[in-house]
Chains A and B, each alone.
Chain A
Amino acid sequence: MEKKYWQSFGELNNSEAFQKSSKDEFKEDLPFDPKKGLLEAKTPRRDFLKYLGFTTAAAAVAASCEVPVKKAIPFANRPEDIIPGVANYYATTYVQDGDTISVVAKVRDGRPIKIEGNELSPLTKGGTSARVQASVLDLYDGARLRFPATYSGGKAKEQTFAAIDKEITEALASAGNIVFLSSTINSPSSLEVINQFLAKYPASKHITYDADSYAGLILANEATYGKKAIPSYKFDNAKVIVSIGADFLATWLSPVEFARQYSKGKKINDANPEMSKHFHFESVASLTGSNADDRFLHRPSETGAIVASLYSVLQGNGVTNIKDAKLKAGIEKAAKALADKKGEALVVCGSNDVNIQIVVNAINELLLSNGKTIDWSSTSNVRKGVDADFATLVDDMNAGSVGALIVLDANPFYSWYDNAKLKSGLDKVKVKISLSSKADETTQQCSYTVPNHHYLESWGDAEASTGHYSFIQPTIYPLFKTRQWQDSLLKWSAATNDYLAFLKTYWTTKLIGSSWDKALQDGIFVKDSAVATTTSFNASAVNGAIANIQPPKSGIELRLYQKIAIGSGQGAANPWLQELPDPVTRATWDNYLVVSPAMAKTLLNIDLTNSGQSDSYEVNPPKKVVSIKANGKTIELPALIIPGTHPETVGIAVGYGRDKKVGKTVVDVDGKSVGVNVFPLASVVNGTVNFDISNVELKVTDKKYPVALTQTHNLLTTPQGKRTEVVKELTLGEYQKNTKVILEEREAELGAWGGVKNFREEGSIYKPYDKPGIKWGMSIDLNSCNGCGSCIVACHAENNVPVVGKPEVLRFHDMHWLRIDRYYTGDKDNPNVIFQPMLCQHCDNAPCENVCPVAATNHSSEGLNQMTYNRCIGTRYCANNCPYKVRRFNWADYTGSDSFPNNQDELNNTVHYMNEDLTRMVLNPDVTVRSRGVIEKCSFCVQRLQDGKLKAKKASRPLVDEDVNVACAQSCPSNAIVFGNVNNPESSISKARKDSNRLFYSLEFLHVMPNVSYLAKVRNTEESANV
């Protein structure tokens, strides 16, 4: 037994008193009275030194250990599926106002940074548009509403969701008639949510409002097919396409889908030199018109006459009501081509007039398109709005019969033509709730805002066309105190479950042959859709419609059109989209009056055939300002001369002049909004919104306004001859006669230096180097490229290309690594257009490389012309010596990564916006952000190439095509760009080069030996290309 030593009886007996005293043996209370608080406490004399020591040490620690504020939070416990530095991809869906594109979001360390097309989608096959690419930047938009709020007297008061829900449910309960106003919603589960809400409030209804209205088309379909819907169009099944003002490659309905289909008809090879034929009738030069094989110009008011004439010619009668001889011949030509290809023809029309669309339907019936190129088995759900519904709503509001209005994404206060009437109506609505995620014009009229998530933060589904489902899943935790609108509606309908649960329940029964997880992972679910079916055509309305078509008018007419980037205003707050040069006008940042060269001569006194006048117009950004009087309203805009526009028609893009609250981007240097809102110039005719205005008065003012153009000169032909070495085109006839036309042209150019075959060796006194291993190359099919600009924005996002803002673009400082050059050839008033994507050609014998004094730009062993940013000293010699002018210099501190701090003050709003911490979350961490004073340019997405090589290496196999793809090629809806390893004979790039005699290199004779090849543009016309 252990011997026990004890000091006291207490210890021996382990008494309670002893236990207490031993426990508290050294206990001393803190030397101040806790009741009095720390600050009031007196320091006892004996503790003075303790206090002194502690405070000194504390002060020293506090002062010396100033830790820089780090905003990144390290993963103390790494989430299961996030590896720092490795991207995750989530399938989701881009949805905006009915536009629906299945995408895959690239997420790095919890931040979505890039949107890529979902290749599983049967509709888009991985294609995207510029707006889809740019949508990731909207997520990080500092102008998004950050919390639910109530408004009184123009002042926002932040609320909790619980409080605002309570207030809103009370208000709705007593509101009477409730209207849920939205832009097109094609999410089946959301429509169900809306139905639940409508069921909860019996006196309520859902109205769809689309700023870019397709009501004419929808109502015409109702009249002739009995379906208030839009069919799916199959441009790929059409050998002859006639479009009357439908800009289907850029803005009409579902352009990404159509661009893919359209490009199929344009894919042409030496073995099978056949392609579709596209006739385009238009008033103001558009992207689609620029791609057409034959373009005919007409007045907007002639649209009806053209459609009627086409119908009448197809029925064996003559052209009516058309005076212009060229146009008349065009209609006859188009009609003949259509008649020859019955069942393989398609006629589309951009008009919003019911009567015209009825006749278009009748034409398609004559052409047996129904069931072939027009598919009624799966209707398109991208637009559903009918203008009359909204017009009635405005009347109802004015009559005081609307008690509450809930607005989601629709923005009529900006885009409805009769703003005054809408305003007075809105003032009479007691409860106005906005679910939009931004303080747009309509939201500003509301008293409650319950902001919606960005789609990258949301759950959901979408049905672009019937049976084609696409799922939305969040890729980031919501950045702000926002809530999905479906959740809001469920709350207000007193539903118990949230939207995610609702969505899951909704889909459990409907996913046949797939699971929820699988559907979510793919992002796509296609409900077995039958082969194209026909729907019976009701011809009874046709004759009436023809009779009701308005005859052409005289005088100057105005057409309001949409730009591919800005749309009806959705893209206005996005700097990438604002800085994307319009493919047709090559202008950024503004809307303007588009006039024809003929009108320029009479109106602006600028004769483009006079080299002095045309030079002076081109080289000076300030353009003459014209005052435009239309529908009783007057606006002033600068005029741009754009060939391909009818001599007596002018055009203005909608979507500009947005309220400053939608983002810093829309604020110009002078503090005003960028551009002018022209929606008020529109009108309602026969119940549908009409964007064509006649009796327009134009007057030149003596003011000038600078327009930020990124390209000044448009003609390939100089007094010294046509620069065919830059870009090559031919006609289908020439090609069919001799597929080697382009090859022979190259032979002639290079004849003096050994011809095509020996040019590499004989073009120089130096021996060419061997290029073993990988050699990257790109081939661009100019026949597939329609110039849409999706690749440009993809490049912005992938490579952290800076946005410089309007004042800098005006100074020709735009930074695009990839641009799409637009050239005109032929007829000056209605020219042929060629789009040529131009990026660093990665020349094997690069003129930029040998002039750099410090070897900052050099050639990699894989054929890349690479930039070493931290070696560059910025002499710009390389940029001067680049024949393609693709090198871009950082003129100022655009990215905030400079060694001189705070030197961005003189730069503009846009640069400041792009440098906010929030916006910078979009940066790709794999790509260096370039500092001021260095040159940058296309790198062939070298970070992706490294990634791809690593993938192959890890799998211990040679690199294959699927391992790498560059951002531009990936985003292209028409698959115009092929990229890969040229040294691999099996790669698609090798095949693309080998198989085509249309192959050419831009400026090949310079012997710079580019690694980007082009396939010549083929135009399906009879005339020779080299006129």
Chain B
Amino acid sequence: MSLKYESQIREPLVNGSKDYHQITEDIVRPIEAKPTRLWYIGFFTAVALLLFGVYSVYREVVYGVGEWNLNKTVGWGWDITNFVWWVGIGHAGTLISAILLLFRQGWRTGVNRAAEAMTIFAVMCAGQFPIFHMGRVWMAFFVLPYPNTRGPLWVNFNSPLLWDVFAISTYFTVSLLFWYSGLLPDFATVRDRAKTKLRKLLYGVASFGWTGSTKHWQRHESLSLVLAGLSTPLVLSVHTIVSFDFATSVIPGWHTTIFPPYFVAGAIFSGFAMVQTLMVVIRKVFGLQDYITIGHIEAMNKVIVLTGSIVGIAYLTELFMAWYSQSKYEGYAFFYSRANLFSPYGWSYWGMMACNVLIPQIFWSRKLRRNLFITFFMSILVNVGMWFERFVIIVTSIYRDYLPSSWSVYYSPSIWEIGFYLGTFGLFFTCFFLFAKYFPTIAIAEIKYVLKTTGEEYKDKMDNLEAEDVEAFAHKHAH
């Protein structure tokens, strides 16, 4: 008879016989140790990519958007594709932290910190594209509704691009706050363990004077709940609004009412895949297998197969509607520009179909869900597929729209367009490497929560306790 009932089919969320101290040791170790050779290689590769990206952007700013291969018909290409792609990736973190918190999903604690960090960085990357895709980026502040001396001249509140500005900046702010408030007790832990003055100072400042008092914890808890409550609708709204960029337009292939749910599902899909990609690596590199267990991986794979299938249904619905509407223009966009493998961009549609809909179906098999190699490979494929999805939506719709006279020549990116994309990878991984080195990659405080219910040590102690007879227990504890 156990004091707490636990389902037999649930696996422990933390493996190994860990006590609280051990957890702190495990998670803080990478912060306190010198970085490994591998870290340096990874970090500098990321910085190199970032610098190439900076140079690519420099060229675009100084010489013009003509450095890219966009044209009079295809006004958006890799830029907005990458924007939507990164925003999509930036969905998993908040979903894991907020929605799963509200649903009291204990397993989130192993991955939420890194996932949230990923969200922040992904949104940072995403933000670069709408800013630098502008022809006159130095005038970008025009999109902000600030009082000015030109009338005052306001922004156009009808424009979905303006909604994007608000949606993404709000999302970024809330995610950042959420993430940072979760970091406070952990920073305090690192501060308390600090052996150098500098470390103590920096982590001291970063932890905002956290003392671990009950009052602090109480407020911390309340704040987490409030922010979780705020973030939850944001998870749904951000990609909904991003999808409005397309859904409110008149272009066949963009003008589709199914876009909001379809985009949100796709975003969760790609976000989870990105989390998988990173987790599989981190747990190995930092030896955190006990905290990010195969059970976590499997749980996320389940989300992937679910959202992948939702996206698949959306694709089929679009095709059905294109046929059912009997619109020549929409029909052409879906059946010729996309579904016809032999049309110029047919490959991207079928690449999308394969990566997003067909291949993830292998995760119906428990064995494959729990296979790390397959998981890693799949997580990459999913994001390739999701990149194709955005490319398909953007490029295959506009390159052949209403007037056949304006149908475009074949659009493929220039080196500076690719450079910009690689640069955001550089930015992302530079941030992520710094995060992995200087931040606790797993929420120390939060994982200790779940340790109470699922940790091996806890269970052992409970078993001992239960084996002890009442007299002995009373004797031991009564002084």
Please report A residues at the B interface, Cβ cutoff 8 Å: 611-612, 615-616, 618-621, 709, 711-716, 718-721, 723, 726, 808, 811-814, 819, 821-823, 836, 838, 847, 850-855, 871-877, 879-881, 883-885, 887-893, 899-900, 903, 906, 931-935, 1002-1003, 1006, 1008
Contacts and interface: CB of A to CB of B under 8 A. Distances in A.
B328 A619 contact: no
A931 B135 CA distance: 10
Contact of A891 (B66, B73, B408): B66
A713 B331 CA distance: 18
A712 B408 contact: yes
A726 B407 CA distance: 14
A877 B75 contact: yes
Interface in B379-438: 398, 400-410
Contact of A880 (B75, B137, B335): B75
Contacts of A1008: 250
A718 B328 contact: yes
A853 B168 CA distance: 15
Interface of B: 62-66, 69-76, 130, 133-140, 142-143, 153-156, 158-162, 165, 245, 248-251, 328-329, 331-332, 335-336, 340, 342-344, 398, 400-410
Contacts of B332: 718-720
Contacts of B160: 851
Nearest to A836: B405
A588 to B, nearest CB: 13
A854 B404 contact: no
A933 B405 contact: no
Contacts of B139: 873
Contact of A811 (B69, B135, B158): B69
Given A619-B410, A711-B406, A719-B331, 20 more contacts: A716-B404, A813-B71, A814-B72, A821-B406, A822-B405, A836-B405, A853-B161, A855-B154, A873-B136, A875-B161, A877-B161, A880-B75, A880-B76, A880-B398, A884-B402, A887-B72, A932-B135, A932-B136, A1003-B402, A1003-B403
20 contacts: A611-B342, A619-B409, A713-B400, A713-B404, A723-B328, A811-B69, A812-B408, A814-B72, A836-B405, A852-B156, A852-B161, A853-B143, A853-B159, A854-B155, A875-B133, A880-B75, A881-B251, A889-B72, A891-B70, A1003-B402
The 3 closest A-B pairs by CB, nearest first: A874-B135, A933-B135, A891-B66
Nearest to A868: B153
Given A712-B407, A712-B408, A850-B156, A892 B66 contact: yes
B75 A889 contact: yes
A723 B410 CA distance: 22
Contact of A871 (B142, B165, B406): B142
Nearest to A906: B63
Given A812-B408, A812-B409, A877 B250 contact: no
Contacts of B134: 873-875, 933
A884 B65 CA distance: 22
A821 B403 contact: yes
Contacts of A888: 72
B335 A720 contact: yes
Contacts of B335: 719-720
- The binding surface of chain A is classed by DSSP as loop
A847 B135 contact: no
B253 to A, nearest CB: 11
Contacts of B159: 850-853, 855, 877
B75 A713 contact: no
B114 to A, nearest CB: 33
Contacts of A1002: 403
Contacts of A883: 250-251, 401-403
Given A812-B409, A853-B162, A899-B138, A715 B402 contact: no
Contacts of A620: 409-410
Contacts of A881: 249-251
A855 B408 CA distance: 27
Nearest to A881: B249
B165 A853 contact: yes
B346 to A, nearest CB: 9
Given A611-B342, A821-B403, A873-B135, A619 B408 contact: yes
A766 to B, nearest CB: 12
Q: Which of A714, A900, A933 has the most CB of B within 10 A?
A: A933
B387 to A, nearest CB: 19
A851 B248 CA distance: 9
Contacts of B250: 847, 881, 883, 1006, 1008
A888 B73 CA distance: 9
Nearest to B406: A885
Given A874-B65, A880-B398, A906-B63, A885 B136 contact: no
Given A814-B72, A851-B159, A852-B159, A884 B136 contact: no
B71 A812 contact: yes
B72 A821 contact: no
Given A723-B404, A847-B250, A851-B160, A876 B70 contact: yes
B143 A854 contact: yes
A1008 B136 CA distance: 28
B409 A873 contact: no
Contacts of B64: 890-893, 903, 932-933
Nearest to A931: B136
Given A616-B344, A620-B410, A874-B65, A718 B336 contact: yes
A981 to B, nearest CB: 28
A822 B404 CA distance: 9
B328 A721 contact: yes
A812 B405 CA distance: 12
Contact of A847 (B65, B140, B249, B407): B249
A711 B408 CA distance: 8
A397 B344 CA distance: 59
